Structure 1
Amino acid sequence: MGNLYLTVCPNWCFTTNLSCHYNGRIVLAWDPDEFQIDIIHMGSQLIHTCVTPRSSDKGFFCTFIYGFNTPTERESLWAPLTSFSNLNHQAWLVMGDFNSIMEMEDRIGALVRLADIKPMRNCMATCNLTQVKTIGRQFTWNNKQEGENRVFSRIDRVLSNTAWDDKFPTAEAMYLPEGTFDHCPMILSTLSTCQSKKPFRFYNMWTSSPDFLPIIEKHWEKYVYGCPMFRIIQKLKWIKQDLRVLNKSGYSNIEATKIQLQHQLADIQNKLHTDPTDALLATEEKAIDAAYRTAKENHLSFLHQTSKAHWLEQGDENSRAFYQSIR
């Protein structure tokens, strides 16, 4: 690593987790003129840090990940992440090569089992982490094999909690072409914006979620010390944070969800026409039909609310223009 330290980034600071694994699997480098990095915890699969930009006070926690190759070895990765989440409620970013997938669609060319996605999904749900907006390559790794042996996977991710999203609302992760490597390089950008903060809007479609009422009840039953108005405002802030997480987990792309369920319904119905006596297919059709109806209602509700909001905004702009014209 000496050549890297001396020639590529001669004035930068470096650290590795060599003390936790004989290969030193993670190398972390930063420009000390731009960032102050405090190392909080090191393990064989992660480095947990506190990052403070020199140019602002928008500090945050960042955990850099390089997960082991097998599910058994990766078991020791999830517990520290859960522990960091329980100890910290400030802005937090988790990024790197998890060597694990979160969705059934995250791998093509090889079989995906529910057991492959369950550990990471459970951990991310426990930690209240969601994916930062991504652009560029959909699959971040491939095995460079030929023909039917080629496997594509989405195993590199950038995840964040609600506090980080609020602090960096314009952030996005760009996955570049892999070139001669098996992984796609990633650039995380937190573009500054001069626009005002996007206001919070309540969508009626959220009430269709089985988690909606538990979220309201959980925070409304909490005791808050202070005057009645302060207590209400504090409870609404807690509810707003959880509703944003709920929106990202199931309502962030409702039109795509509706179309996907529509295709699934058509596919299962085609199978039923081929084998009308299959009881399992009939049960599956009923479940997908119910999910599709809910998704369709959510989409219509969303369109109704957004169109009404746009109409009100346009009317407000027209009123201001009319006022200015008669002054």
Structure 2
Amino acid sequence: MERLDRMMVNSIYVNCNQQMVVKHLPIIASDHCPILLNTLEFSSKVKKAIRFEDVWASYPASSVVVEKAWRKKDYGSPAKILNFKLKSSLKSLCYWSKAKHKDLNQLKDLRKEEILILQTKEAKVGMLSLDVYYLLKFKINELNSTLAQLSTWWRQ
């Protein structure tokens, strides 16, 4: 019992924008295996929707990213220019966010670890120097800021 049955298509059909799936059907009334060729249309590259994250507005650097995107020159009707600038700003913010920011949950955990190290040091020594005390306050403020951003992200 060998699968000797074959299917043939020409090169034009192969080069079409289609996906071909060949399936051998069960042998029922013959000594040949029926072949089913199923063609599926390829959809053009599926674009992932980019959505504005409210958290981005809490970063001062995000306004610089948007400003840079709006300075780009474009030609056409005012509506086309506005659409281009909005899309460009959103893409720039998305790339900026991926390149510059860690996941907020990871950032929260990191901040907690840093605070715990400083508080452990305070417990061992009994008192912190003024510089380390201000560093601890700064880390606590960073944690609170990160928690607020995480809350905004969850709310959205």
Q: TM-score range by the shorter chain?
A: 0.5 to 0.7
Classify 1:287/1:250 alpha carbon distance in 2 versus 1 (closer, same or farther; 3 Å): farther
Q: Please give the alpha-carbon distance, in whole angstroms, between the structure 1 residues aligned to 2:106 and 2:56.
A: 17
Indicate whether 1:287 and 2:138 are aligned: yes
Q: Please give the alpha-carbon distance, in whole angstroms, between the structure 1 residues aligned to 2:45 and 2:104.
A: 26
Q: CA offsets per residue over residues 68-105 of structure 1, 9 Å max, x none?
A: xxxxxxxxxxxxxxxxxxxxxxxxxxxxxxxxxxxxxx
Alpha-carbon shift at residue 212 of structure 1 (Å)? 0.6
TM-score using structure 1 length? 0.32
Amino acid at match of 1:235: K
Alpha-carbon shift at residue 226 of structure 1 (Å)? 1.2
Task: Indicate the structure with greater helix content.
Answer: 2
**Structure 1 outlier segments of 4+, above 4 Å:** none
Unaligned runs of 5+ in 1: 1-54, 56-192, 306-327
Alpha-carbon shift at residue 195 of structure 1 (Å)? 8.8
Q: Please give the alpha-carbon distance, in whole angstroms, between the structure 1 residues aligned to 2:113 and 2:132.
A: 15
Q: How is 1:1-327 mapped onto 2 (pairs within 5 angstroms)?
A: 196-273=46-123, 274-305=125-156
Contact 1:220 1:235 in 2 (8 A): yes
How many residue pairs end up in the alignment? 114
Classify 1:262/1:195 alpha carbon distance in 2 versus 1 (closer, same or farther; 3 Å): farther
Q: Please give the alpha-carbon distance, in whole angstroms, between the structure 1 residues aligned to 2:105 and 2:44.
A: 30
Contact 2:66 2:93 in 1 (8 A): no
Contact 1:206 1:212 in 2 (8 A): yes
| Partner residue, 2:31 | none
User: Aligned residues: percent identity?
Assistant: 21
| SS of 1:249 mapped into structure 2 | helix
Classify 1:223/1:196 alpha carbon distance in 2 versus 1 (closer, same or farther; 3 Å): closer
Larger relative contact order, structure 1 or 2 (CA cutoff 8 Å, min sep 6): 2
Task: Indicate the structure with greater strand content.
Answer: 1
Q: Please give the alpha-carbon distance, in whole angstroms, between the structure 1 residues aligned to 2:92 and 2:45.
A: 24
Amino acid at match of 1:279: L
Contact 1:271 1:281 in 2 (8 A): no
Alpha-carbon shift at residue 243 of structure 1 (Å)? 0.9
Unaligned runs of 5+ in 2: 1-14, 16-42
Classify 1:277/1:255 alpha carbon distance in 2 versus 1 (closer, same or farther; 3 Å): closer
Contact 1:205 1:302 in 2 (8 A): yes
Alpha-carbon shift at residue 254 of structure 1 (Å)? 1.1
Amino acid at match of 2:139: I
